[in-house]
């Protein structure tokens, strides 16, 4: 919850909740940032999810010989479903499609400050200095409502690299 915890005020923003099949993409609720941050259950769930992410991150760092600098943290917020599975609170930017230097990123619909979604602004500030172009795609009505994202609607075929791609410098 990093981007929102930095800006605790009483601004409202639309939050899109996945509701399963038949989701129309028009179901939105208005909720304040303070309300999200004061939701103890949501905070506890995200602390749990963060521990899971950290555990996986440690494995990736060890197995792929990555350093902390090799990893880019994108803002995300989750809630746990009835089975205890983490589902994104808003479209998850991490599930973007990478097409060379162009990124098809799920539009997160986060808090708008200064006329721009603060989550999009943060993603751009992290990715564009690397020479990447962010194109935010509205995928709520087509995929997010069914717990999918942009990558679910693509048919990209790839060949494995013959080198350690994570060591490549732009």
Pairing state between β 133-137 and 102-106: parallel
Question: Which alpha helices (H) appear in 16-80, and where do they start and end?
Answer: 33-37, 40-64
Quick one: the chain helix, strand, coil %, rounded to 5? Answer: 35, 20, 45
Q: Residue 139 — φ and ψ, nearest 5°?
A: -120, 15
The token pair that represents 84 in the structure block = 């205890």
Instruction: Tell me if residue 117 is catalytic.
Output: no
Among candidate residues 52, 134, 135, 152, the one labeled active-site is 152
CA 90 to chain centre: 7
Question: HEC profile for 115-145?
Answer: CEEHHHHHHHHHHHHHCCEEEEECCCCCCHH
Q: Which tokens in the block code for residue 169?
A: 């410098």
Catalytically annotated residues: 152
């Amino acid at each position: 919850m990093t981007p929102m915890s930095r800006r605790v005020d009483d601004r409202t923003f639309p939050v899109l909740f996945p509701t399963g099949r038949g989701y129309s993409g028009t179901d939105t609720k208005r909720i304040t940032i303070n309300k999200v941050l004061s939701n103890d259950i949501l905070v506890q769930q995200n602390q749990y999810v963060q521990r899971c992410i950290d555990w996986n991150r440690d494995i990736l760092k060890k197995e792929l010989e990555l350093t902390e600098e090799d990893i880019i943290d994108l803002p995300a917020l989750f809630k746990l479903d009835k089975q205890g599975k983490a589902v994104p609170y808003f479209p998850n930017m991490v599930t973007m499609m990478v097409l060379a230097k162009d990124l098809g990123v799920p539009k997160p619909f986060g808090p708008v400050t200064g006329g721009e979604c603060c989550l999009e602004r943060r993603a751009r500030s992290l990715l564009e200095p690397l020479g990447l172009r962010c194109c935010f795609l509205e995928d709520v009505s087509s995929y997010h409502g069914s717990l999918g994202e942009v990558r679910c609607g693509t048919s990209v075929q790839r060949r494995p690299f013959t080198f350690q791609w994570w060591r490549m410098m732009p």
